[in-house]
Structure 1
Amino acid sequence: MAEPVFAPWTDPNEKPLIQFKGVTKRFGDFTAIDNLTQDIYAREFFALLGPSGCGKTTMMRMLAGFETPSEGQILIAGQDMSRVPPNKRAVNMMFQSYALFPHLTVFDNIAFGLKREGKPKDEIEARVAEMLRLTRLERFAQRKPHQISGGQRQRVALARSLAKAPKLLLLDEPLGALDAKLRQQTQFELVDIQEKTGTTFVIVTHDQEEAMTVASRVAVMDEGRIVQVATPSEIYEQPNSVYVADFIGEVNIINGVATPQGDGYDIAWAESQPPLHAQTTRGFSDGQSCHLAIRPEKISISTEEPETRNKVRGTVHDIAYLGNLSTYHVRVPGERIIKAQTANTRRLSRRALTWEDDVWLSWTDTAAVMLEE
């Protein structure tokens, strides 16, 4: 039997672990969080994604208790947090800098919070041993932070945060200090650790790839508001606005005017060009301006004219070779550039297309997402 899909947010009987209810946070005249309402469920790996200054860290600091809302309520497990100080919340926060004690060993760093709580010695030793196993640090227990790598320090900080078995772990740009390859490896480790412990993780990041890799749901933020909350695949395939489409991955945005036609809409987009056609479940009125968002990998590029309805003629203006992929920047009517991506299954010398070639771009009726704004 297939495992049930983890999606508590679709079940009306599930009670959220965290509830933001009409939360606003002002710093003087500046509104950092603007009337925000959002539920987060137990065992979720929830990502807050957005550019610098969009309010994601403020949201997290309010959860931890370092900031209080100007208006609205934050509930954790049904309890209003407004009067609960940070050290009394079943919440732990892991900072970007890791903030390890340089003079303590890895073992003592992990044990620190448990010792402060006055736990018995054998209980502390058992818990730290468990955390060392979980983060694969057994061999480094007696080393000091400066004697281990950045990736290992990151795991020590994670082990220390999880040692007190918080209901909720907040991670503020936790992989910011790691190089690209190590980040990727650590992302999968984080997911693995989160699944094994069953702790709810809320991560703040401006790295879309990171959010897409680790999260059960992603909240895309802009100027103190959540613009869209959905699973990574929904955010990528069905963005609800140009802002979200543009923030996640590469995308082509074609502006035009919609006319209802058969099973979808015809979109007039450039003078003396045949209209493009798109299917959508959204309703548009006749003559309404719209945006088509099309991912480069959904666009085919060829020298022969294709047999499809959506086709545009253009000239190869630039080629970005990324090893496994090539992205062709094609100049089309109206001096627009449309990007098409192909997987490099053949060696470079055998590829047909080059700069200044005349090409055809084509895509299916369902490849583009029609957006209002």
Structure 2
Amino acid sequence: MSDPAPAAPGPAVFEPWNDPAKRPLIQFQNVTKRFGDFTAIDNLTIDIYEREFFALLGPSGCGKTTLMRMLAGFETPTEGYILLDGRDIGAVPPNKRAVNMMFQSYALFPHLSVRDNIAFGLKREGMPKDQIDARVEEMLRLVQLQKFAARKPHQISGGQRQRVALARSLAKAPKLLLLDEPLGALDAKLRTQTQFELMEIQEKTETTFVIVTHDQEEAMTVASRVAVMDHGRMVQVDTPARIYELPNCAYVADFIGEVNLVEGNATAHHEDGKVVIHWAEGAPPIVGTPMQPIADGTRCTFAIRPEKVNITKEHPEGKANIMRGRILDIAYLGNLSTYHVQLPTGQIIKAEESNRRRISRRPFTWEDEVWLSWSESAGVVLTE
């Protein structure tokens, strides 16, 4: 019998930030930006790589738009350097950079057709007409708007206008495309659909995208890496999965998605690396697994996502963390329900369950006494 054929290799994982041999496309080196006494960006150093879809995520006023404006050339750093493909671009004007920007408003010319909107920048650069025509056709195919090429912006939908703006931004083949809240004007269902279209176009063109958004779901959907920002600093930069599952501090855990946060004092189990968190008088302690060793008495925050909390009518067996409470409220979201359970201490813990049964057959309702439980590794123990 012949040996079995070797298994086909899986798809290559795109993680240039973990490859020391990869040279970054964009480098922020100790960049600070001040407006008078206000520091918008505080001593930032970060690398962004070619073909990345990099998301700047944070609340209003965190500095994400200022970062984007510095990349575009509309603002200059007060201190530090910004390098694009190894070249300091601090003194390079916006129109001389290999960078394009797509605004939330799309900024289409209302009197020009879809075709002429896409061609506008190419004509300004003096590209020969036959090359312009070929490039515009390529962009129309990319965004699937060939049938709408002769229409004016007011004659197409919001999602189609968004694709025209994207095609116009990509027509000049920039090394870097900046997207400022690009889907903010779309309704929720169209926004979700357009997120996947945006990802597909980015993969086809292999252009580096940097997106500014305050929409967590959008950032988690489209980005290869997410930078969570606060007061001019990048608090955590990582893949969406690690940002969600392994936040490095309570701010990130609380900002991304739903989470239960319980503060307490840790007692270390040195032999197995686990910690016992004493968080309220008379309440059973929480057993957790920290990401790094924690000294006895350390003040910490235990963070656990609602979908990792089990909710049952009967006392569960074999769990390290078991608590009794009463259902205070229920958030019904169609495919799932979130139960707000009040413990005897007054602390409210959220538990999430998939709605696999019809509503009349679901086991829990308001005021029910229930048990909550989770494993020792279900949450994260944070010291910041």
Alignment partner, residue 34 of structure 1: 42
Secondary structure (helix, strand or coil) at the match of 2:345 reads helix
Deviation at 1:273, TM superposition (A): 2.1
Instruction: Give, as a single letter, the amino acid of the residue that structure 2 aligns with 1:199.
Output: T
> How far apart in 1 are the matches of 2:43 and 2:344?
43
> How far apart in 2 are the matches of 1:310 and 1:157?
52
Q: Aligned to 1:75, which of 83, 90, 103?
A: 83
Alignment partner, residue 375 of structure 2: 364
Alignment partner, residue 89 of structure 1: 97
Alignment partner, residue 125 of structure 2: 117
Deviation sequence 1:93-152 (CA, Å, 0-9, x none): 001110000000000000000001111111101100010010011110000000001110
> How far apart in 2 are the matches of 1:365 and 1:333?
22
Q: Does 1:281 align with 2:291?
A: yes
Alignment partner, residue 277 of structure 2: 267
Following TM superposition, where does structure 1 have runs of at least 4 consecutive aligned residues deviating by more than 3 angstroms? none
> How far apart in 2 are the matches of 1:362 and 1:309?
8
Q: Does 1:63 align with 2:74?
A: no
Secondary structure (helix, strand or coil) at the match of 2:252 reads helix
Secondary structure (helix, strand or coil) at the match of 2:100 reads strand
Alignment partner, residue 153 of structure 2: 145
> How far apart in 1 are the matches of 2:202 and 2:42?
30
Deviation sequence 1:137-196 (CA, Å, 0-9, x none): 111000000000111000000000000000000000000000000000000000000000
Alignment partner, residue 54 of structure 1: 62
Alignment partner, residue 302 of structure 1: 312
Instruction: Give, as a single letter, the amino acid of the residue that structure 1 aligns with 2:119.
Output: A
Aligned Cα root-mean-square deviation (Å)? 0.7
How many residue pairs were aligned? 373
Equivalent runs, 1:215-294 vs 2, <5 Å: 215-261=223-269, 262-263=271-272, 264-294=274-304
Secondary structure (helix, strand or coil) at the match of 1:334 reads coil
Contact 2:307 2:352 in 1 (8 A): yes
Percent of residue pairs bearing the same amino acid type:
72
Instruction: Give, as a single letter, the amino acid of the residue that structure 2 aligns with 1:275.
Output: P
Instruction: Give, as a single letter, the amino acid of the residue that structure 2 aligns with 1:313.
Output: R
Deviation at 1:281, TM superposition (A): 2.6
Alignment partner, residue 129 of structure 1: 137
> How far apart in 1 are the matches of 2:283 and 2:169?
59
Alignment partner, residue 6 of structure 2: none
Secondary structure (helix, strand or coil) at the match of 1:62 reads helix
Instruction: Give, as a single letter, the amino acid of the residue that structure 2 aligns with 1:322.
Output: L
Contact 2:29 2:82 in 1 (8 A): yes
Contact 2:283 2:345 in 1 (8 A): no
Q: Does 1:99 align with 2:110?
A: no
Contact 2:291 2:380 in 1 (8 A): no
> How far apart in 1 are the matches of 2:298 and 2:78?
39
Instruction: Give, as a single letter, the amino acid of the residue that structure 2 aligns with 1:125.
Output: D
Instruction: Give, as a single letter, the amino acid of the residue that structure 2 aligns with 1:77.
Output: D
Equivalent runs, 1:277-356 vs 2, <5 Å: 277-307=287-317, 308-356=319-367
- Judge which range, 269-278 or 4-13, deviates more: 269-278
> How far apart in 2 are the matches of 1:257 and 1:118?
67
> How far apart in 2 are the matches of 1:274 and 1:103?
68
> How far apart in 2 are the matches of 1:369 and 1:332?
20
> How far apart in 2 are the matches of 1:274 and 1:156?
58
Deviation at 1:335, TM superposition (A): 0.6
Contact 1:270 1:333 in 2 (8 A): no
Q: Aligned to 1:159, which of 167, 170, 182?
A: 167
> How far apart in 1 are the matches of 2:331 and 2:235?
31
Deviation sequence 1:7-33 (CA, Å, 0-9, x none): 000000100000000000011111100
TM-score by length of 2: 0.96
> How far apart in 2 are the matches of 1:83 and 1:291?
45
> How far apart in 1 are the matches of 2:88 and 2:164?
31
> How far apart in 1 are the matches of 2:284 and 2:340?
21
